[in-house]
Amino acid sequence: MANDVKPTRKNLMAIEDRIELSERGHGTLEKKRDGLIMEFMDILDKAQDVRGDLAQDYEDAQKKINMARAMEGDVAVRGAASALQEHPEITTESKNIMGVVVPQIESSRVSKSLDQRGYGIMGTSARIDEAAEAYEDLLESIILAAEVETAMKKMLREIETTKRRVNALEFKLLPELYENQEYIEQKLEEQEREETFRLKKIKEKKEAEEKAEREAERAAEEAALEDAQPETAAQSPAANQ
Amino acid sequence: MSTGASNPEYVNARVRSRRAAMLSDEDYRKLIRMGPSEIARFMEETEYEQEINALGTRFSGVDLIEYALNRNLAKHFDDLLEWSEGHLYDRIVRYLRKFDVWNLKTIVRGIYTDSDPEEISTDLIRAGELDDGTIDRLVEVDSIEDVIEILDGTIFAEQLEDAYEEFEESGALVPLENALDRAFYENLLEDLGRPREGPEAKYVEFLEAEIDFLNARNALRLARSGADLDPAAYYIDGGVLFDESDLNRLVGDYDALVDHIAENKRYGDRLSGALDRLRDADSLIQFEHALDAALLEYADTLSSVYPTSISPVLSFVLAKEREVENIRAIARGREVGLDENEIEEELVIL
């Protein structure tokens, strides 16, 4: 609040520094926000594609496992699944997009060849192969979706934060600083005017005093002159006589 | 193992009555329009009543149907082994050992995943040669080594022992599962020779078809998968469709493989429609479906050619398996929301 600020030149200079810094920060944050939005739009397109694929893969995998359960029996499908030796693994790394740290998920042992699934080939059927393959594809899609959607959420959060910062600078901090600057400038000008006025008054007073003094001196001189003139006149007739 | 004289007449008479109790086309048409609980209720009114009632307290919905079907299948096949004697027993048990393979795989997988013995036991289909006592012992053991030890003296022991080293090196169940399947298929034709005529010739022809179809199925799966696998490891000797060198040569060339099957005199015409679809389609499922149908038709033809041989029994075994698969397909299909046409396409009905 402007009233809380002491209207001193030092504060004015400090506020001017803060205004300069805030304006520069505001510009930078605006650029960051725009950049993030552009990156976000790219990720959003990718996320929409990944979501579409995920929904498709899920439907496909469900259909294939349903068919496998129907034709081979639930017991056979469960049995084949339990033979799995190497379970899929994921490792996460991170990458930086305009200052936002987003995860990069690496998966291994998700897609397997026929001999890596654990179940014997001779005693199983293509239905189980196809169900396993469809679920491997689904898992790949889920991992990709997790990566893209986490990146998207983090970007969105960062955009929100940046936007709030830009707005705070634009609509709160900078207006307050401008207001304080104006207040201090006005106060300083006012102080300057008061000072000038005061000096002027002092000067006038001083001049008036000096004038009065001079007039008093002059009056005293005149009075002295007047006192001296009758004495001279009285001496003159006597001299004439 | 039974050592008495063969008794096909008696067994066939019993099988005929069992076959008469199987579901008709009309029953399938009704089932396709029912939901899972209606199917369970329908089954209560058929020969599955006993199994549905026995398992009704433990399971519900489609699980109840599936376990009841498996138990009923096991009961029928167990009866076949009980009725049959001598030569006939030997011929039937050769084929029914596929359920021993199923049970052993289930047990090995259970041990591998540290499953509860009761859970393992639930998934077994006790229709093979191994008696209940042996199976119960197998379910209770903690290691695959113990399983191999208990199986000593069976057709599976040697192959399993060989595969165990590979299992220990890789940690994957594939070698053990393949060893079990290989032991079963290699034993199918053992000591049967190549009779040229009579019921035995037809029986051998059927078993050859089973092996050929398995080889064709696996060759196509390997060719499709593009995995760097040795085709010889998945080849079963005894069929007429491929020899090992054919398979090694053809696995790398999918079209040539399909052509090879199509050009075969015994199966080419029977499978031509499915092979044509296979050339264009991405999926092997329809082809596998055609193989199942062809095998069923094969067995059915055999039963009418030699009615007092093992053929009607074999035909019943396949028909019963197919009935169980069909009912399960309908129930599971309805459970997961498949429509009537989709389910109907998947059924194999003679």
| Residue to test with chain A: of B211, B285, B288, most A Cβ within 10 A | B285
More confident site: B327 or B298: B327
Give chain B's mean pLDDT.
87
Give, for A210, the enclosing helix (H) or strand (E): helix A174-240
Out of B176, B227, B336, name the one closest to residue A66 (CB).
B336
Identify all chain B residues contacting A125, using CB atoms and an 8 Å cutoff.
217, 285, 288
Identify all chain B residues contacting A122, using CB atoms and an 8 Å cutoff.
177-178, 181-182, 185, 214, 218, 234, 236
Q: Tens digit of pLDDT for each residue in B241-283?
A: 888 888 888 887 888 888 888 888 888 887 777 777 777 776 7
The minimum CA-CA distance between A88 and chain B, rounded to whole Å, is 15
| Residue to test with chain B: of A69, A115, A128, most B Cβ within 10 A | A115
Which residue(s) pair with A104 in the sheet? A93
Tokens of B300: 């059915």
Structural domains of chain A in order of their starting residue, each with its CATH number: 15-159 (1.10.287.3240)
Write down the pLDDT at residue B242: 85
Instruction: Answer yes or no: is pLDDT of B192 > 50.
Output: yes
Instruction: Answer yes or no: is pLDDT of B219 > 90.
Output: no
Write down the pLDDT at residue B104: 95
CB contact under 8 A, B174 and A119: yes
Distance CA A207, CA A213 (A): 10
Q: Are strands A100-108 and A89-97 parallel, antiparallel or unpaired?
A: antiparallel
* Minimal-distance CA residue of chain B relative to A123: B181
Could you give the percent of chain B with pLDDT greater than 70? 98
Write down the pLDDT at residue A85: 75
Distance CA A82, CA B325 (A): 22
**Neighbouring C-alpha atoms within 13 Å toward the C-beta of B311:** 22
Write down the pLDDT at residue A231: 66
Contacts of A233 (CB under 8 A, 6+ apart): none
Q: What is the number of other CB atoms lying within 10 angstroms of the CB of residue B182?
A: 24
More confident site: B234 or A143: A143
Count of A–B CB contacts within 8 Å? Answer: 127
Q: Report the alpha-carbon angle B223-B259-B253, nearest 5.
A: 30
Instruction: Answer yes or no: is pLDDT of B317 > 70.
Output: yes
Identify all chain A residues contacting B160, using CB atoms and an 8 Å cutoff.
none
CA dihedral B277, B279, B280, B282 (to 10 degrees): 100
Identify all chain A residues contacting B338, using CB atoms and an 8 Å cutoff.
66-67, 70
From the first residue on, what is the mean pLDDT of each consecutive set of 10 residues in chain A (241 residues)? 80 95 95 93 92 94 89 86 84 88 87 81 86 93 93 93 95 94 94 94 94 93 86 60 50
Of residues B292, B299, B249, the one with CA closest to residue B271: B292
Task: Please say whether the beta carbons of B107 and B139 come within 8 A.
Answer: yes
Helices (H), chain B: 8-20, 25-32, 36-44, 49-55, 61-83, 86-112, 117-122, 132-140, 144-150, 157-170, 174-188, 199-225, 244-250, 254-263, 268-280, 285-305, 311-335, 340-346
Instruction: Answer yes or no: is pLDDT of B318 > 60.
Output: yes
Global pTM value: 0.77
Q: Tens digit of pLDDT for each residue in B15-72?
A: 999 999 899 888 988 999 898 889 999 999 999 999 999 999 999 889 999 999 999 9
CB contact under 8 A, A75 and B115: no
Confidence of residue B350 (pLDDT cuts 50, 70, 90): low
Identify all chain A residues contacting B123, using CB atoms and an 8 Å cutoff.
75, 78-79
| Residue to test with chain B: of A71, A74, A113, most B Cβ within 10 A | A71
* Minimal-distance CA residue of chain B relative to A83: B109
* Minimal-distance CA residue of chain B relative to A85: B172
Of residues A127, A146, A173, the one with CA closest to residue A29: A173
